Structure 1
Amino acid sequence: MVTPCPSLGPPAPYVRRNVTHPASLSAWARLLGRYARCIRGRRRDENRKRGSGMEIHWSHVEEISEDERHAIEARLSALAAGHTDMIDLRIVGRGTGHHRHGGKEIRVACQVRGREIVAVRSADDLGLALDQAIDAFEREVRKLREIRSTHRDERPQNPPYLGIVDRVLHAAGYGFIVTDGGEKVYFHRNAVHGGLEFERLTEGDRVALNIEAGEKGLQATTVVPAPPGVPAP
């Protein structure tokens, strides 16, 4: 006699498991990266529209939210508006390990007219350290501008150096001038004034300029047309 097998009941319902393929994760990462670059590009465009031309670079500040970064960038853009002395500003975070002064540190650094201004602050919270560092940086920039404004009348009306444009990188926003004394000087598009247009500068144009020592060598703080009738050496 054959004993029938007991019933196993109805089959278990099929459950679809959502397993994300690694390729999909890579696609999402690329999409988010493009979105972040787009946002940064829009903010750079906003800075240029305000007349500052300044670019802000963030490093190791993952704890700082996008809203907090946007608020800080708005403060710095307001500080740079109407001026051409601030170009590239860097904000770098790191852990200090010093519990007495706070375990998080923010360093804000920028070249302002050939002088590097650096503000460093530490706190237990990275956002607090950022606010304090930005406050200190703003004070130093305003102090430097006030000092230079006081001595502005003592400067000669026309830039004291003459030279010719040696190279212009229009897409990058900078170029080089060779002075009549044979020195090669870097200049940024924000230094071009006096009726000159950076987009129209070409090699061989005769210019007058002010020169200051920068972090990586000589740089022109002002580039204007050369006085008429002044021959090249």
Structure 2
Amino acid sequence: METEPQITFRGLDHSDAAEGIIREKIDKLERFHDRITSCRVTVEKTTRQGHKGHLFYVALDIEVPGGSVHVSGKPGDQNAHEDLNVAIRDSFNAAQRQLQDHVRKSGPVHVKSHPEKHHGQVVRLFPDEGYGFIKTPGGLEVYFQRDSVVREDWERIDYLSEVEFSLMDGEKGPFAVNVSMRA
């Protein structure tokens, strides 16, 4: 989490035990969704009019990339309980369900990866046949062909030319793609 969770108590004194339970629940949410950026928890105790006892409300505001999760703790909500531990449990369960919905709706995040760039020197070139071989500093010889050379670099490539390329695995071994002259 990017920021320290904020836990606020209203209408009751701070409780180390309740805060410990809340922090455990936050840790569990972070294991479920590891991109939570902030979490605010408000624990409120109110007195019911005309009845003995108190009601506890636990509200959560959780920020994640692309959205947020809000579990309301307003009086009259279903999240009102006479037992603080039950109120905490139910609010965090509701938050986890909302996080699941958020993940499902937003879909997986795909980050396009670019192949690692390698460099080497042309050690054999067969211009009439349209292919050649590049030797890497590590001693690996890699096949390349005219179609793998970018722009008009094929016309400029010569024996001992310095090139950079991406490495692919083929049926007959590694081969170079996106071959270009080194600047």
Interval of TM-score (by shorter of Structure 1 and Structure 2): 0.3 to 0.5
Larger-Rg structure: 2
More strand by share: 2
Q: Which has the higher helix share?
A: 1
